[in-house]
Chain A
């Protein structure tokens, strides 16, 4: 592989990886705070894509308002799901929560299929000027760079929220110890809702970006990226936000290079990585071994 090709594949990988990272953030934040793997998260990604689609076509909005509307819409759906499906089960066993999450996932997928049919829809062509860009010998296109850019921006925003605001402090506290946080006067319900809202907004943004990039959205589009993003979150260390960033980007790059080397392995590589990390370092790349204090 020549250096130019290497660079090009690196850009591909980072771009793909940033989409995984955006989705993985939602998985990791929710797990960090209530210990639930939110299987419905990948469908929030799909919901965001559809909201963006309708914003762009029926309302004819340009890119930035579409993105914002989709993020807000996804946040609302995420919070709704939490209120209706997960909050009543807060005290129940984690199995019940898991099954409920799967139920919500099926509901969203099949609900959208029933209402919008599984025929893929396309975002309008002119929503984002797609220019082929040549940086020296490297060919890429403006959309990939925009995806990278928007993802990085959103992740920086997230870091700011988590580490520089009061609500962020409350989120970190709740994530460390829910009961202690409640004792300190933090409204845990509110913090959890905000967590879901932020995670869902990021997933919704990813949905819009991907919808524009691949010109096609359908009710089942979340399943594949969802599994990969979940893998990325585990790979980086589930429950840790930097883990989701790192895991997402690395998985994107690994997947791209493996596909370039031997493409029939493309689908399997995500799972191979998952199995490998669970065998070698189950707490993830950035995770610490959580020992039970007896």
Chain B
């Protein structure tokens, strides 16, 4: 009997110890337990300026997460090589959000409370950004997302910035492109009912499309079977099928659509932008068009330099997520430099007044702290995305 009790105690202790050891983060080290009781802003502890980064390194959108991290780490390396910010080196602390909003929130809180970062780059996904924004606003920690396109993100407050276009903009562009370039008179939409990104983009396309929307269907996040919805859409024979979701779902939907006899051209937003689109979708995703923020084929000086640096470090071309996150980081770093301090209020004022040229072009923020920039349309050919046209609105 006593033995049982002792075993139970030992096991409980072991369990507790393993929970404590479970605070895993990806990327650079974190200084959780040893956080000195420094109530003041310890973001610039010693000679480093700590910047947080929330990104989906694992999960169904890991393609975005890993590209973004590469882009940001390239920036970190470049900035530190040139002496950092006013002599202090920067340190990017990445935490995996797994593509889930709830995990993104805990990641952000860890960065703010344990790592004491002075600002956060990201999150990468719209759902995560919407969830984390109010928290950053509450703590007065500037949050700058390079890739969150949902309209609501920046409404959380004056600490929240974004350096990419918004979904209303994207939806409008794709609607215009479909009517003008693809000569589409009818369209159908299949969107993800559980994703902020998908719903926002679907709404935007719907209101901007001047042709007839013959059918709108939805599915739940995590659903893998789209047969019912697509079989319903097939008889309408739309000219285009708008798919405002992420690459995993797009690929499966495309394959299923072709198998139920849908002949429409597939179009969508920046969620398509991943090499995994092709590995999962195969032939079904040839000849699709989507809007995104940048193309490696762009001939501007900034893009060429960025592509060259990225290739030198990682081998292979950078995608939009790498470029955008690099830009978000750059805008933040330049603003911290201008602010001359790591205080949240100083940084956000500097951000508000930012004006400069980054990889994706010239950036300024409008009164809602959204970036004003151009969009690029990509067409897929032979398993790769090729630059089709640039659109400014």
In this complex, which of A117, A139, A263 has the most chain B Cβ atoms within 10 angstroms of its Cβ?
Answer: A263
A255 to B219, CA, bound (A): 12
Return the CB mask of A201-223 against B: 1 if under 8 Å, else 0.
Answer: 00000000010011110101100
Residues of A within 8 A of B255 (CB): 215
Q: Is B223 interfacial (CB-CB < 8 Å)? A: yes
A8 to B229, CA, bound (A): 12
A260 and B232 form a contact (CB under 8 A): yes
**Contact for B248 among A117, A120, A213, A264, CB less than 8 A:** A120
A213 to B229, CA, bound (A): 16
Residues of B within 8 A of A141 (CB): 259
Question: Looking at the complex, which of B54-62, B127-135, B152-160 is the stretch in contact with chain A?
Answer: B54-62
Residues of B within 8 A of A9 (CB): 227-228, 231-232
Q: Is B251 interfacial (CB-CB < 8 Å)? A: yes
A260 to B230, CA, bound (A): 8
Q: Is A100 interfacial (CB-CB < 8 Å)? A: no
Residues of B within 8 A of A259 (CB): 219, 228-229
Q: Which of A62-107 contact B (CB under 8 A)?
A: none
Residues of B within 8 A of A60 (CB): none
A9 to B228, CA, bound (A): 6
B227 and A2 form a contact (CB under 8 A): no
CB distance from A130 to the nearest CB of B (A): 8
How many B residues have CB within 8 A of the partner chain?
33
A130 to B227, CA, bound (A): 15
**Contact for A260 among B59, B229, B259, B279, CB less than 8 A:** B229
Q: Which of B237-253 contact A (CB under 8 A)?
A: 248, 251-252
Q: Is B261 interfacial (CB-CB < 8 Å)? A: yes
Residues of A within 8 A of B282 (CB): 125
**Contact for B228 among A119, A120, A221, A256, CB less than 8 A:** A256
Residues of A within 8 A of B193 (CB): 264, 267
Q: Is A5 interfacial (CB-CB < 8 Å)? A: yes
**Contact for B227 among A16, A132, A264, CB less than 8 A:** A16
Q: Is B235 interfacial (CB-CB < 8 Å)? A: yes
Q: Which of A163-210 contact B (CB under 8 A)?
A: 210
Q: Is B366 interfacial (CB-CB < 8 Å)? A: no
Return the CB mask of A129-157 against B: 1 if under 8 Å, else 0.
Answer: 01010100001110010000000000000
Given contacts A12-B231, A139-B261, A216-B224, contact A119 B62 (CB under 8 A): yes
A117 to B201, CA, bound (A): 29
B58 and A118 form a contact (CB under 8 A): yes
Q: Is A122 interfacial (CB-CB < 8 Å)? A: yes
Q: Which of A244-260 contact B (CB under 8 A)?
A: 255-257, 259-260
A138 to B85, CA, bound (A): 65
Q: Mostly helix, strand, loop or mixed at chain A's interface?
A: helix
B252 and A119 form a contact (CB under 8 A): no
A5 and B222 form a contact (CB under 8 A): no
A5 to B237, CA, bound (A): 13
CB distance from B40 to the nearest CB of A (A): 37
A257 to B231, CA, bound (A): 10
Q: Which of B246-275 contact A (CB under 8 A)?
A: 248, 251-252, 255, 258-261
In this complex, which of B224, B227, B248 has the most chain A Cβ atoms within 10 angstroms of its Cβ?
Answer: B227
**Contact for A266 among B58, B220, B224, B234, CB less than 8 A:** B220
A264 to B202, CA, bound (A): 14
Q: Is A224 interfacial (CB-CB < 8 Å)? A: yes
CB distance from B242 to the nearest CB of A (A): 15
Return the CB mask of B24-59 against A: 1 if under 8 Å, else 0.
Answer: 000000000000000000000000000000000011
Q: Is B225 interfacial (CB-CB < 8 Å)? A: yes
Return the CB mask of B205-227 against A: 1 if under 8 Å, else 0.
Answer: 00000000000011110111101
B227 and A12 form a contact (CB under 8 A): yes
Q: Is B339 interfacial (CB-CB < 8 Å)? A: no
A266 to B280, CA, bound (A): 24
Residues of A within 8 A of B59 (CB): 118-119, 218
CB distance from A192 to the nearest CB of B (A): 27
Q: Is B76 interfacial (CB-CB < 8 Å)? A: no
Q: Which of B346-385 contact A (CB under 8 A)?
A: none
Given contacts A139-B260, A139-B261, A216-B252, contact A266 B223 (CB under 8 A): yes
In this complex, which of A12, A221, A259 has the most chain B Cβ atoms within 10 angstroms of its Cβ?
Answer: A259
A8 and B252 form a contact (CB under 8 A): no
Residues of B within 8 A of A134 (CB): 261
Residues of A within 8 A of B115 (CB): none
Q: Is B167 interfacial (CB-CB < 8 Å)? A: no
CB distance from B356 to the nearest CB of A (A): 35
CB distance from A159 to the nearest CB of B (A): 26
CB distance from B286 to the nearest CB of A (A): 14
A260 and B260 form a contact (CB under 8 A): no
Given contacts A210-B224, A216-B280, contact A8 B58 (CB under 8 A): no
Q: Is B98 interfacial (CB-CB < 8 Å)? A: yes
Residues of A within 8 A of B261 (CB): 132, 134, 139
CB distance from A151 to the nearest CB of B (A): 15
Which residue on B lies nearest to A252, using beta carbons? B225
A255 to B220, CA, bound (A): 13
B60 and A119 form a contact (CB under 8 A): yes
CB distance from A21 to the nearest CB of B (A): 15
Return the CB mask of B91-122 against A: 1 if under 8 Å, else 0.
Answer: 00000001100000000000000000000000
**Contact for A263 among B222, B229, B279, CB less than 8 A:** B229
CB distance from A41 to the nearest CB of B (A): 18
Residues of B within 8 A of A144 (CB): 227
A139 and B259 form a contact (CB under 8 A): yes
Which residue on B lies nearest to A265, using beta carbons? B218
**Contact for A215 among B58, B220, B251, B258, CB less than 8 A:** B251
Given contacts A139-B234, A216-B252, A260-B232, contact A118 B98 (CB under 8 A): yes
Q: List 18 A-B contacts (CB under 8 A).
A: A12-B225, A16-B225, A16-B227, A118-B99, A119-B62, A214-B252, A215-B252, A216-B224, A224-B223, A256-B228, A259-B228, A260-B229, A260-B232, A263-B218, A264-B218, A266-B219, A267-B193, A267-B220
Query: Which 6 A-B residue pairs are closest in the complex by CB-CB distance?
Result: A259-B228, A214-B224, A139-B261, A141-B259, A12-B227, A267-B220
